[in-house]
Amino acid sequence: MEENQVSQTHHQQPTNQPRSRDWSWPLWPLLPLYPYGQRQTLCREILPNTLWVLEQVQGILAVIVPIRMTVIKLTQGGLLVYAPIAPTRECLRLMQGLVAAHGPVKYIILPTTSGLEHKVFVGSFGRRFPQAQIYVSPHQWSFPLNLPLSWLGLPSDRTHVLPPDSQEAPFNQDFSYAILGSIDFGLGSFAEVAFFHVPSCTLLLTDLGVSVPEFPPPIVQQYPAPLLYHAKDHALDSVEDTEANRRKGWQRIALFAFYFQPSALEVVPFGQSLRDARKAPVKSRQNYFGWFPFCWRSDWPASFEALHQGGRLFVAPILQKLILNRAPEATLNWVQQVASWNFERVIPCHLAAPIAVNPPQFQQAFNFLKRPNLPETSLPKSDFACLERIEARLIQQGILPSTPHLNSLD
């Protein structure tokens, strides 16, 4: 991982700030994810006068991770925005600072089809920058009703589908891109577009590559309650707000986020969890009124270390188990195309960024499609048990297609 990840912090609020109009996101009921209607934004300059990331958090219940958009200065002036986040007043003020210094937002990119947490913000963000042209990945869809993009808030007069060949895009002087998909996973299709910023040797990804930091990222530190909630070992614990407990809570959140139910986690029976909640020393709303239906085995740090591994790039287990293994050959062809670019760093939309990764290291992250049974190319099999049950059930119900034979790929 790059040594100097935070070269400049434009805005960072103390963790005990009250509710603020600057953080208000009134459209949160469209996708009711934590932190609902109050979203702080942190802006970091990654490359001076060239590349910035703006980050918020998003999650379900107390499992929260960063969600990130990347802003890049174009050679001819102006800005390109990859994967917008919620355009709160704070976010827009930070963007206007970049616009004043580097020119208007010219292009807004929606690089995925299945990521509702990215798609839900594009229309609202785009309307705040009426000069910008919006480009979306092919094969867009919505669930439960497959609605036109204009019904999802994207302005029809300036929304375009990315051309198959990146040289046909109006920003081809600065970017190449590679489109993966669409991959059928039953309820819909998966597609993602990786962007390569040629001048800075930077690869932009949405979900197809992440790195888990050992410590909670700065934007997650703004929301200590989820960190401390997951730092508990039992419902009866009272956890102090310390660096060690925040770190412990973050690492357990990462295991929840990737595995749903990692092998080191045991679920407390519902009746017992309610009885424990009545005895809990803290019964605040943020503490879910004392309800804590989990029990971690003492070996849980080993599962986290298998995820972390020094900050390496890897593919999220849910993508490994439920999506990419449905189209291994197409995925590996896409990987080969991306690896032909001379990138030095990767900026994904979640978890850590930037990540110091070169093309061979990027290819290695997808070795699970070539040699799925080798320990050095896969995450611990025991942690996949919950995802394997989900996969089997979806295949049995005819929702998810079966996988081809992966072992034949080389």
The pLDDT of 100-110, averaged and rounded, is 97
pLDDT value of position 18? 64
Helix (H, G, I), strand (E, B) or coil at 270: helix
Q: What distances in angstroms separate CA 290 from CA 62, 92, 229, 277, 287, one per listed residue?
A: 13, 37, 10, 4, 6
The pLDDT of 32-53, averaged and rounded, is 95
| Element spanning 160, H or E | strand 159-161
Distance CA 208, CA 216 (A): 21
Terminal-residue alpha carbon distance, the chain: 29
Residue 168 within any structural domain of the chain: yes
| 238 and 96 both lie in a single domain | no
| 60 and 118 both lie in a single domain | yes
| 182 and 330 both lie in a single domain | yes
Asked whether the beta carbons of 58 and 67 are under 8 A apart, the reply is yes
Asked whether the beta carbons of 64 and 253 are under 8 A apart, the reply is yes
Distance CA 276, CA 290 (A): 8
| 351 and 205 both lie in a single domain | yes
pLDDT value of position 241? 94
Distance CA 358, CA 16 (A): 39
Q: Where among 310, 331, 353 does a domain terminate? A: 310
Distance CA 335, CA 368 (A): 13
Token pair 């050992």 is found at 214
* pLDDT of 16 over the 80 cut: no
| 75 and 152 both lie in a single domain | yes
Residue 178 within any structural domain of the chain: yes
Number of folded domains that form the chain? 2
Distance CA 367, CA 185 (A): 21
Residue 171 within any structural domain of the chain: yes
* pLDDT of 86 over the 50 cut: yes
pLDDT in tens, 169-198: 999 999 999 999 888 877 778 899 999 999
* pLDDT of 14 over the 60 cut: no
The pLDDT of 242-249, averaged and rounded, is 96
Asked whether the beta carbons of 301 and 259 are under 8 A apart, the reply is no
| 29 and 167 both lie in a single domain | yes
Residue 408 within any structural domain of the chain: no
| 303 and 316 both lie in a single domain | no
Residue 90 within any structural domain of the chain: yes
Residue 159 within any structural domain of the chain: yes
* pLDDT of 129 over the 90 cut: yes
Q: Where among 342, 364, 386 does a domain terminate? A: 364
* pLDDT of 388 over the 80 cut: yes
What is the Cα 400 distance to its own chain's centre?
Answer: 23
What residues contact residue 14 under an 8 Å CB cut-off, 6+ apart? none
Residue 12 within any structural domain of the chain: no
| 28 and 104 both lie in a single domain | yes
Nearest to 43 by CA among 32, 30, 52: 52
pLDDT value of position 144? 65
- The residue segments making up the domain with residue 72 are 21-211+312-364
Please tell me which of 111-115, 314-318, 394-398 the model is most confident about, judged by mean pLDDT.
314-318
Q: Where among 310, 330, 351 does a domain terminate? A: 310
| 204 and 233 both lie in a single domain | no
| 160 and 233 both lie in a single domain | no
| 67 and 207 both lie in a single domain | yes
Q: What distances in angstroms separate CA 249 from CA 112, 216, 257, one per listed residue?
A: 30, 9, 12
| 189 and 77 both lie in a single domain | yes
pLDDT-derived band at 286 (thresholds 50, 70, 90) equals confident
Residue 379 within any structural domain of the chain: no
Question: Using DSSP, how many helices (H) and how many strands (E) does the chain show?
Answer: 11, 14
